Copies of this chain bind each other. A is one copy, B any other.
Amino acid sequence: MLPISNRGSLMPESPIRKLAPLAEAAKQKGLTVYHLNIGQPDIATPEAMIKAVKDNISPVIEYSHSAGNDSYRRKLVSYYAKHSINIQHSDIIITTGASEAILFSFLGCLDVGDEVIIPEPFYANYYAFAVVAGIKVIPVSSSITDGFCLPAIEEIEAKITSRTKAILICNPNNPTGYLYSEQELKQLEELVIKYNLYLFADEAYREFCYGGKHFSALQFNEAAQHVILVDSISKRYSACGLRLGAIVTKNKLVIDTIMKFAQARLSPPYYAQVAAEAAIDLPDDYFVVTKAEYKNRRDVLVQRLNAMQDVYCPNPGGAFYAMAKLPIDDCDKFCAWLLNEFSHNNTTVMLAPGTGFYGTAGMGKQEVRFAYVLNTEATNAAMDCLEAALKVYPGRR
């Protein structure tokens, strides 16, 4: 018997995708499954992006530059400028999704055994990429009762050791939907300067802020060299399958270092870049319409959840996720039970167990994440289903 690697054993199964076979079985029983478990929107990818792919006339689908097409990177400068992020095209490396951007940031800035502090709950795959890079995730807990705001800066500071090399935030946040304030960002700016740390800022949901204004870590003046922006076009344009993201940083040494990792994998995907370049020219009202749609969905979801007995869901300021506390014994059991044993009007709902988003064992057992990626009619139907489920769930607390 050939042994696999220790890190292969350590790699977590995706907390969402491990429920997939149960969802498959539910569908085979004839149930409609509302997928609120994954950030895969039902919104159409902009026609202009698909048209750009169809209009492409290159006879050879060649490697692009390892940093991404020059034309695309130059156009991105204008995109970022609209968001008060002033950078040059040479500050950008196009990546295969934010996934690769996170991994490259870890690899380029941290060594095996180094530590990155991340407020929890956090996007589960950060932990997976930390396993790949051999680094330690040090969680610092945010609380649902505070709406998942940034933990007190002293709590973050208390986690810093000689191996700490970076802090990572996702803003607006996946899984909580929390939108960090400028003041919270400034606290982090002071901290990364004081301890000479990197700040990895995942801003994949930048456009989707409802009410508050997004403040990007790349708007820092003093800590500009500390910031590595992680970006993605997946959610922005409902184009998850393209697999395109970016690393943006004013730190030239980091760009040069990450460029070597980018060269090793040759180039980001071709058609994705063609589509993404066309997206820069979308009219500004594209986001007005999309954002209004997500805001509607959020309002329906949060109102419905909070109207259920013993359910609490803080109102998220951005992204398209919400974390709610449910009157249940164990979210993993509950989410499996929904798929395995429950149905309402021939439907059921697939949710993401809260535990998958915590680094601290035992946290999040009563929480679930909702991705409000379905239209309001489907969202309402899913809420009807959840409401009925909570009434009969054997593990209700």
Contact = CB atoms under 8 A, between A and B. Distances in A.
Nearest to A12: B260
Interface stretch (A92-100, A155-163, A312-320, A331-339): A92-100
A14 interface: yes
A14 B9 CA distance: 32
Interface of A: 2, 4-9, 11-14, 17, 38, 40-45, 49-50, 53-54, 59-64, 66, 96-97, 99-100, 103, 107-112, 114, 125, 128-129, 132, 134, 196-198, 225-226, 238-243, 251, 253-254, 257-258, 260-261, 263-272, 275
A14 B108 contact: no
B226 A2 contact: yes
Contacts of A111: 5-7
Contact of A264 (B11, B44, B268): B11
A111 B3 CA distance: 11
Given A9-B257, A38-B63, 4 more contacts: A2-B196, A8-B108, A17-B263, A96-B96
B263 A2 contact: no
Counting chain B CB atoms within 10 Å of each CB, the highest count among A40, A53, A111, A196 belongs to A111
Contact of A13 (B13, B196, B243, B260): B260
A266 B245 CA distance: 13
B128 A260 contact: yes
26 contacts: A2-B253, A4-B253, A4-B254, A5-B109, A6-B111, A8-B258, A11-B257, A13-B263, A14-B260, A17-B66, A17-B263, A43-B60, A44-B60, A49-B61, A50-B61, A53-B53, A53-B54, A61-B239, A64-B241, A97-B266, A125-B264, A241-B270, A243-B267, A270-B271, A270-B272, A271-B272
Nearest to A99: B265
Given A6-B111, A134-B134, A61 B40 contact: no
B266 A269 contact: no
A270 B257 contact: no
A44 B107 CA distance: 36
Nearest to A11: B260
Question: What number of copies of this chain does the assembly contain?
Answer: 2
Contacts of A44: 59-60
B41 A96 contact: no
Contacts of A66: 14, 17
Contacts of A129: 264
A141 B268 CA distance: 33
A241 B7 CA distance: 30
A241 B6 CA distance: 33
Given A99-B266, A110-B5, A257-B11, A61 B242 contact: yes
Contacts of A242: 61, 269-271
A162 to B, nearest CB: 13
A128 to B, nearest CB: 4
Nearest to A20: B65
Contacts of A270: 241-243, 271-272
Given A44-B59, A45-B60, A64-B241, A4 B257 contact: yes
Contact of A132 (B60, B197, B261): B261
